Amino acid sequence: MNKKVAVQELGIKDYKDTWDFQEEIFQEIVQQKSKNRKEQTQVPTHNYFLYVEHPHVYTLGKSGDFSNLLISEKELAAKNATFYKVNRGGDITYHGPGQIVGYPILDLDNFFTDIHKYLRFLEEMVIRTLAEYGLKAERSKGETGVWLDVGTPFARKICAMGVRASRWVTMHGFALNVNADLGYFDNMIPCGIKGKAVTSLNVELGKAEVDIAEVKEKLLKHFAKLFEAEMIRE
């Protein structure tokens, strides 16, 4: 079992280009697993954790409802935003500047073969990170992701999640609002859940801007502890 995870910083990268890159890594891992089975070999599979920041984009999961996007193609163009229907779980999500997007591409055979546990661990990574900033973040029953003030009229989502897994290999991941422009969330029904607000870490802390690099390091620290992984910078 290879518990080493290669961390790659992709910088600002187009959503579709990043999706293609994810698919390439994903297929390499799946093919190696298939080859190991056929040839009865034990060549280790690799694990990755991609960090990226996307230009303004809306993505719709495979079971999502297109009507949750509230603006037209013309209005998308006016806002310098794009739209993609993707092969992850979940409904509609927004990505943009000021948001930490993380794509763990893991062979869960190296860790544990339980997709629900995987999602809960990703949520826990974010919950523990936000706790370091004095925020009590939590899960909302029946709603993937991380929230604040759950069970109150002021419930708001700070981190969205949507993953795909095949042959226990994962892709896609999470999007944590750190210095996000929340106005872009007004153009959709976030994750298809009506009447729920969205927030960002800088808003919660009353700051103009939060150090994104610092947040990334905290996320990696908690990921490594939860998954008992060795994080390696590439």
Q: Annotated active-site positions, please?
A: 191
| Residue 185 annotated as binding site | no
| Residue 174 annotated as binding site | yes
| Residue 160 annotated as binding site | yes
| Residue 164 annotated as binding site | no
| Residue 134 annotated as binding site | no
| Residue 89 annotated as binding site | yes
| Residue 95 annotated as binding site | yes
| Residue 192 annotated as binding site | no
Helices 212-227 and 115-131 cross at an angle (nearest 10°) of: 140
Contact residues for 151 (Cβ-Cβ < 8 A; gap 6+): none
| Residue 161 annotated as binding site | yes
| Residue 92 annotated as binding site | yes
| Residue 133 annotated as binding site | no
Give the annotated binding-site residues: 88-95, 160-162, 173-175
Give the annotated binding-site residues for substrate: 88-95, 160-162, 173-175
